[in-house]
């Protein structure tokens, strides 16, 4: 990465009001959760999200994601998540909306409606961006709706002229209401991912790496999950070059 690329990325991710707020909140939350995580219950998990993206036009993309998760040292099925969405691209901006259903094994299922605004930029080969999402969560067994905010930043960069690239993201979630049951109020969880991606042909990406999740629980020990995350992405539109692109996937 050249000096000009680094300077442009810093200006993009650090000077806008939303970017500054997201970065500050993310850093403070990671530091706080790292301290709390010393008393959390660690677990090794395996997550396998599969995403299919259909490019209806230059601006509109329909996305469908299904994800399986395994807990207890990846020995037991824990969740299946379905997440369809509609995404509109206008220049560097992305406006998205969708639905998410979480089928939990032995726990309360969840139905969410969500809206998101984000911005993605390219600086030569570097792709970086941020997202702000509002979710309306409906928990089985919990009356009413629980709003939640998610802040996410991400970056990807190719490895030379190979089909491989490095990628990563950080995200933090806050619940904006307390129903006395279900999710905790305020800061709920933080995630951080780093990994290697590979272009497979002109339509398929596979990203594999390490994902850490810390999550506050209402009762019992907090969760501290060390996860092998493998993300399979299929795009109907072929890529002209095998380098990271802002429309490669939706997180």
pLDDT in tens, 87-101: 999 999 999 999 999
Better-scored residue on pLDDT, 233 or 40: 233
102, pLDDT greater than 60:
yes
| Per-residue pLDDT, 14 | 45
| Distance, C-alpha 132 to centroid of its chain | 11
| Mean of pLDDT values over 65-93 | 96
CB 94 within 8 A of CB 88: yes
- Tell whether domain 3-235 is in CATH 3.30.750.24: no
Better-scored residue on pLDDT, 14 or 129: 129
Q: How far apart are CA 243 and CA 124, in angstroms?
A: 11
| Distance, C-alpha 228 to centroid of its chain | 14
| Alpha helix (H) residue ranges in 66-182 | none
Better-scored residue on pLDDT, 31 or 132: 132
The pLDDT-based confidence of 149 (bands split at 50, 70, 90) is very high
> Reduced to 3 states, what is the DSSP secondary structure of residue 125?
coil
Query: Residues 16-63: pLDDT tens digits?
Result: 454 455 555 555 555 554 555 556 789 999 999 999 999 999 999 999
Cβ neighbours of residue 53 under 8 Å, at least 6 residues apart? 61, 62, 63, 233, 234, 235, 236, 237, 247, 249, 250
Residue 165 in tokens: 């690239």
| Mean of pLDDT values over 165-186 | 95
| Per-residue pLDDT, 13 | 47
CB 117 within 8 A of CB 141: no
| Per-residue pLDDT, 240 | 76
Separation in Å, CA 210 to CA 35, 213, 227: 20, 10, 6
| Mean of pLDDT values over 167-177 | 96
Better-scored residue on pLDDT, 132 or 244: 132
Cβ neighbours of residue 24 under 8 Å, at least 6 residues apart? none
Task: Determine which of 26-35, 102-111, 141-150 has the lowest per-residue pLDDT on average.
Answer: 26-35
Nearest by Cα to 212 from 155, 168, 174, 159: 168
Name the region of 144 (left: φ>0; alpha: ψ -120 to 50; beta: rest).
left
Report the mean per-residue pLDDT for the chain: 88
Query: pTM of the full predicted structure?
Result: 0.86
210, pLDDT greater than 80:
yes
């Amino acid at each position: 990465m050249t000096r000009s690329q680094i300077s442009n990325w810093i200006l993009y991710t650090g000077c806008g009001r939303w970017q500054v707020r997201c970065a500050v909140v993310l850093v403070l939350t990671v530091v706080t959760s790292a301290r709390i995580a010393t008393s959390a219950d660690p677990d090794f998990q395996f997550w396998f999200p599969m995403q299919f993206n259909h490019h209806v036009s230059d601006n509109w993309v329909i996305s469908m994601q299904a994800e399986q998760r395994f807990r207890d040292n990846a020995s037991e099925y824990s969740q299946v998540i379905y997440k369809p969405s509609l995404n509109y691209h206008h220049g560097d901006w992305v406006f998205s909306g969708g639905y998410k259903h979480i089928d939990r094994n032995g726990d309360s299922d969840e139905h969410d409606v969500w809206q998101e605004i984000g911005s993605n930029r390219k600086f030569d080969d570097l792709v970086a961006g941020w997202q702000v999402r509002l979710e309306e969560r409906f928990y089985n067994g919990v009356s009413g709706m629980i709003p939640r905010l998610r802040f996410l930043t991400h970056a990807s960069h190719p490895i030379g002229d190979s089909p491989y690239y490095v990628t990563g993201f950080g995200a933090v979630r806050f619940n904006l209401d307390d129903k006395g049951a279900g999710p905790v109020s305020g800061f709920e969880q933080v995630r951080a991912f780093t990994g290697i991606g590979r272009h497979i042909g002109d339509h398929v990406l596979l990203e594999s790496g390490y994902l850490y999740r810390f999550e506050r629980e209402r009762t019992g020990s907090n969760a501290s999950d060390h996860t092998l995350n493998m993300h399979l992405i299929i795009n109907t539109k072929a890529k002209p070059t095998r380098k990271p692109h802002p429309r490669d996937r939706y997180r």
